Amino acid sequence: MVSDTRDRILDALERTLLDIGVAQVTLEAVAAAAGVSKGGLLYHFPTKEAMLAAMVRRLGARSDERLAEAVAGGTRVAEWYLSYPDDLGEAAEISLFRSMVAAMRSADGRHDEVQRAVVEVMRSWDDGLQAEFDDPVDAEIVRLVGDGIYLGALLGLPRTDPDLHRRVVARLLRRDESEDSRAARTDPETDGSRNV
């Protein structure tokens, strides 16, 4: 029951953020949207900051679930990290993270707990990336490019041409199709006309 109420409050927070934006979010508005008293909300989240941080962590948990599904389906962590957020669920989460960035950059500047939650979420994928690369520099390059892709989505920047994006990912993951096809043409095992 406690978890259900907590989730209901976080669901209401997400809806409220998407409907009216972070500047208008109050504990009272979220409590009303969740159908709980302000005291009930404060039982779970003693401050607006704690509630926002919990929402960020929950968004991270959703991303972790999508990552686990992708990996189970044969996608590498790096491929997932370098992909554009595409589906409607991810688009809503982009909007929520956009609200979080706005909250963290607001005039009062007191969003340490939300900032820590964002850092936790963004760093939670580092272990998976590090495990896929022998060289930590390669893993860091992928992380930085992936962060840039996500930042571009947060800012609403135009997407890179899909073919160019695919080629960038292939190069970062060292799977350039043109190199593969050149190697196949010159490999004595695949090209009987080549004299060795």
pLDDT digits (tens, 9 = 90+) for 96-133: 777 777 766 654 666 688 888 888 888 888 888 999 99
pLDDT at 196: 32
Can you give the pTM of this predicted structure? 0.77
Domain carrying residue 123: 48-159
- Please indicate, yes or no, whether residues 147 and 76 belong to a single structural domain of this protein: yes
The Cα–Cα gap between 171 and 52 comes to 37
Q: Are residues 108 and 144 in the same domain?
A: yes
CATH number at residue 34: 1.10.10.60
Are residue 153 and residue 89 in the same domain, yes or no?
yes
Residue 36: how many other CB atoms lie within 10 Å: 19
CB burial of 125-140 (b: ≥16 within 10 Å; e: otherwise) equals beebbbebbeeeebbe
Residue 62 lies in a domain: yes
Same domain, 74 and 125: yes
At residue 136, does pLDDT exceed 70?
A: yes
Quote the pLDDT of residue 190: 39
How does DSSP assign 6-26, residue by residue? Answer: HHHHHHHHHHHHHHH-GGG--
Same domain, 83 and 149: yes
The string of pLDDT tens digits covering residues 48-86 is: 989 999 998 998 898 889 899 999 999 999 999 999 887
Does the pLDDT value for residue 156 go beyond 80? Answer: yes
Joined together, the tokens standing for residue 134 give 């022998």
